């Protein structure tokens, strides 16, 4: 009897022996599971799953990941070919060095902006508001930057102060207040779901789905930031400032300008600090931020350069005033206390005792770059300025003979040169800037 049970156990035949039925059934189940796993391992993975992994973009909101449902591969390919005929460059190990927006490419930019972010920001904001705006915050830092490095960024300029004030006054004349201007031209704040929808649509337009990690947060002094995190291009968006009609301008700023110029820079002979030194390149700022800021307002109905103007003005005034004085002073342009607080923090970051005059001057680079580019807009090759990577407009003519120009990434809004130039003229007109004025200021 025992021999018969052993003989037929692999077939699962029922054997009338106490305790033996359970053992045979378990072995049979294990055998079928083993066969199933073996057969599945031999099957080729479906094309649909491979494409899904390749184009998937990870969105993070408040620490959680949201992966949008993929579209069919055929539909995705058609859109991609339609919007971008240029092949994507292969990932390069130098990405983290060549991609950042900073002007010196020595790695200092990322470090200093991290070092000058106060660790006790919320605590000091609460004290400031409780004191009815009469308390000068005392900021603390986890990794204070070296005094010599901070001193490099503490010299404010008044070169374009008149223009910055004029731009803001023009805006207020038309809209009455910044808050009305924001609502009328920016539209309503977007939900996280709608932000994702806009970002995905823009990435499809530029053919860069799957290349950029996107984070949504409220813990950001700026409206958005393009950085490299663990070797991955990362776009961080401040959801508290993401407005319906301004979001695409922000994407043109961060992706269409910073990201594309960073990617193109990887293939150029000056893609490292030593390469830039060898070819005697000028700092890429103020061109980098000036160009990105122009693209932020490029297609607006009223392309007022409000933000760049207010940042320029606030930095200069911070170099002459305490935090409390600065807060009161910019009240003539911005009424909302929370918005004023943000601008004052940006101008005073890096300083511990804000009762003293002093500034972090980096934010003046936006208006500075805008006005320089507008001054020379007729002679700048904007297509080449993007294709050459992180270079100043002043170096384009000298470098074009040395550059790699094949397979460069250029955003869709630069494809129609005539339309692009028309919008630059509109920016000049709306902000009442004249060529004569700019020639007198910039030469």
At CA 103, angle to CA 97 and CA 108, rounded to 5?
Answer: 60
- Contact (Cβ atoms closer than 8 angstroms) between residue 146 and residue 340: no
For the question of residue 429 being annotated catalytic, the response is no
Spell out the long-range contacts of 159-162 with Cβ–Cβ below 8 A and sequence spacing 24 or more.
159/368, 159/441, 160/312, 160/367, 160/368, 160/371, 160/441, 161/312, 161/313, 161/316
- Contact (Cβ atoms closer than 8 angstroms) between residue 254 and residue 245: no
- Taking the C-alpha atoms of residue 268 and residue 274, their distance in angstroms, rounded to an integer, is 12
Q: Which of 109, 59, 69 is nearest to 236 (CA)?
A: 59
- Taking the C-alpha atoms of residue 326 and residue 135, their distance in angstroms, rounded to an integer, is 12
- Taking the C-alpha atoms of residue 307 and residue 375, their distance in angstroms, rounded to an integer, is 19
Q: Are strands 213-217 and 224-229 parallel, antiparallel or unpaired?
A: unpaired
Take residue 346 and report the two structure tokens written for it.
């940006």
* Tally of CA atoms within 13 A in the half-sphere of 13 that contains its CB: 9
- Taking the C-alpha atoms of residue 168 and residue 401, their distance in angstroms, rounded to an integer, is 41
Element containing residue 398 per DSSP (H, E): helix 396-399
Q: Which of 412, 307, 385 is nearest to 79 (CA)?
A: 412
Catalytic residue among 254, 280, 288, 289: 254
Q: Quickly list DSSP for 45-67.
A: PPHHHHHHHHH---EEETTEEE-
Q: Which of 281, 213, 262 is nearest to 408 (CA)?
A: 262
Q: Which residues are catalytic?
A: 254
């Amino acid at each position: 009897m025992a021999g018969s049970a052993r003989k037929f156990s692999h077939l699962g035949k029922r054997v009338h022996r106490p305790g033996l039925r359970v053992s045979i059934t378990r072995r049979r189940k294990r055998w079928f599971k083993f066969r199933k796993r073996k057969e599945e391992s031999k099957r080729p993975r479906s094309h649909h799953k491979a494409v899904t992994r390749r184009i998937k973009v990870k969105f993070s909101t408040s620490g959680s990941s949201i992966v949008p449902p993929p579209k069919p591969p055929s539909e995705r390919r058609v859109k991609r070919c339609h919007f971008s005929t240029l092949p994507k460059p292969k990932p390069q190990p130098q990405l983290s060095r060549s991609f950042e927006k900073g002007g010196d490419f020595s790695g200092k930019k990322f470090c200093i902006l991290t070092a000058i972010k106060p660790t006790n920001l919320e605590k000091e904001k609460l004290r400031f508001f409780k004191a009815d705006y009469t308390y000068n915050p005392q900021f603390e830092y986890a990794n204070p930057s070296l005094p010599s490095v901070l001193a490099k960024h503490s010299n404010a300029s008044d070169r374009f102060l008149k223009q910055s004030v004029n731009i803001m006054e023009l805006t207020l004349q038309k809209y009455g207040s910044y808050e009305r201007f924001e609502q009328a031209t920016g539209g309503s704040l977007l939900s996280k779901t709608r932000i994702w929808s806009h970002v995905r649509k823009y990435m499809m337009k530029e053919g860069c789905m799957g290349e950029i990690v996107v984070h949504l947060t409220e813990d950001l002094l700026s409206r958005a930031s393009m950085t490299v995190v663990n070797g991955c291009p990362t776009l961080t968006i401040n959801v508290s400032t993401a407005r319906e009609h301004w979001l695409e301008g922000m994407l043109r700023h961060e992706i269409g300008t910073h990201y594309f110029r960073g990617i193109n820079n990887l293939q150029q002979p000056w893609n490292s600090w030593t390469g830039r030194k060898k070819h005697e390149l000028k700092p890429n700022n103020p061109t980098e931020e000036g160009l990105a800021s122009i693209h932020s307002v490029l297609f607006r109905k009223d392309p007022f350069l409000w933000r760049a103007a207010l940042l320029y003005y606030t930095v200069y005034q911070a170099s002459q005033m305490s935090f409390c004085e600065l807060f009161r002073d910019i009240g003539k342009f911005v009424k909302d206390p929370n918005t004023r607080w943000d601008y004052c923090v940006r101008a005073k970051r890096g300083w511990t005792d804000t009762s003293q005059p002093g500034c972090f001057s980096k934010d003046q680079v936006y208006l500075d770059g805008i006005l320089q580019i507008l001054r020379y807009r007729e002679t700048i090759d904007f297509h080449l300025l993007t294709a050459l990577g992180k270079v100043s407009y002043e170096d384009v003519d000298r470098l074009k003979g040395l550059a790699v120009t094949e397979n460069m990434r250029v955003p869709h809004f630069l494809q129609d040169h005539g339309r692009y130039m028309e919008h630059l003229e509109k920016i000049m007109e709306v902000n009442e800037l004249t060529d004569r004025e700019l020639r007198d200021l910039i030469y």
